Amino acid sequence: MQLSLNEDQTQILDFIDSLSKPYSTVPMHDTSLALTSEELDRELVENGFLDVMAMEELGAVTAALVVEKLARLPFAIEAAASALVRPIIDPELPRPLCLVEEGKTAGPIRFLRPGATVVVVGESGVRSFTADEGMIAAAQDDTLYAYPVAFLKDLPAELRSHDVSAEDVLRQWRTALAAEAAGQLAAALESVKTYVSERKQFGRPLATFQALRHRLAEAQVATNGVYWMALKAAGTGDAGDAAMAALLAQEAAKRVGYDYHQLMGAMGMTLEHPMHLWTYRLKLLTAELGGRGRHALAAADALWN
């Protein structure tokens, strides 16, 4: 595995940094549960950042890097499914792309809105439909997801079938989940580090206390592990690697997410600090595709088979 970014990857990430700079912080006095930007989404599409997987010299690893980078923003962007899953189903599918498991469409669906493409993955294969207003029930305003979410009232009578296996889509979905979680973990950790470096107690910054430094170091190790495992899964295209990446991501999100809020003290429980914009998203990701137990079984099956 190549551990250094090539010149193309470095340039792409630099371009994304420049493009997303106006969206790298929360607007003044904003206490929203979720932030979105249609303008940023449009600029990403126009500049081709969500289509890099289709380019042979870039591929899935670069797409995972793009997803990880965008997940660090306080603004929720539908990038993971579009950049890593859509190319193997149909690159022309209208966005936003919403991924749901067959038989499990009752829960909150990220980025669901009229005009969105809903992809249903399961034993019946990979099928899709375009959501219209009559199919959607909006989430309550105080729903703690930090993603724009909505609920499906029902599936339409007819869905479009796609010539791709459900196993391949699940593999890419798990890789996308891990890449997105890696970015959110990194952004949340950076937010905590800034806070404990500035917040003083007993006459000195919280970051100088050894117990806090140890927990932050463990969080950094966990975050790095998710990042590298996501890139490995993208690079190998292996089902076992993808399942392990998703498992590691959800394990890390559950374990260090608690630490992040505890290290922030009472401020970590308010909307005045942007921490929730990453940790609430992570909380929803920890339940995706059946959670840790399901990914562990998938990894075991892939490895032993």
The domain of 186 spans 166-304
Number of domains in the chain: 1
- Tens of pLDDT along the chain (305 residues)? 567 888 999 999 999 999 999 999 998 888 888 899 999 999 999 999 999 999 888 999 999 999 999 999 999 999 999 999 999 999 999 999 999 999 888 889 999 999 999 999 999 999 999 999 989 987 766 567 889 999 998 888 899 999 999 999 999 999 999 999 999 999 999 999 888 887 777 878 877 787 888 989 999 999 999 999 999 999 999 999 999 999 999 999 998 888 888 888 777 777 788 889 999 999 999 999 998 899 999 999 988 87
Q: Is residue 298 part of a domain?
A: yes
- The whole-number pLDDT of residue 250 equals 96
- The whole-number pLDDT of residue 202 equals 81
- The whole-number pLDDT of residue 220 equals 93
- The whole-number pLDDT of residue 141 equals 61
Q: Is residue 258 part of a domain?
A: yes
- The whole-number pLDDT of residue 25 equals 92
Q: Are 235 and 226 in contact (CB under 8 A)?
A: no
Q: Is residue 93 part of a domain?
A: no
pTM confidence score? 0.94
- According to the 3-state scheme, what is the secondary structure of 53-102? HHCCCCHHHHHHHHHHHHHCCCCCCCCHHHHHHHHHHCCCCCCCEEEEEC
With 0-12 / 13-18 / 19 or more C-beta atoms within 10 angstroms meaning exposed / middle / buried, residue 225 is middle
Q: Is residue 204 part of a domain?
A: yes
Q: Is residue 160 part of a domain?
A: no
Per residue in 94-144, pLDDT (tens digit) is 999 999 999 888 889 999 999 999 999 999 999 999 999 989 987 766 567
Q: Is residue 170 part of a domain?
A: yes
Among 243, 258, 252, 256, residue whose Cα is nearest residue 293: 243
Q: Is residue 290 part of a domain?
A: yes
- The whole-number pLDDT of residue 1 equals 56
- The whole-number pLDDT of residue 30 equals 81
Vertex 160 angle, CA 158 and 165, to 5°: 125
* One-character DSSP codes across 99-148: EEETT--SS-EET--TTPEEEEEETTEEEEEE--GGGEEEPPTT-TTSS-
- According to the 3-state scheme, what is the secondary structure of 175-226? HHHHHHHHHHHHHHHHHHHHHHHHCEECCEEHHHCHHHHHHHHHHHHHHHHH
SS3 (DSSP) at 275: coil
- The whole-number pLDDT of residue 303 equals 81
- The whole-number pLDDT of residue 82 equals 97
Q: Is residue 227 part of a domain?
A: yes
- The whole-number pLDDT of residue 142 equals 59
CATH number of the domain residue 272 falls in: 1.20.140.10
- The whole-number pLDDT of residue 115 equals 95
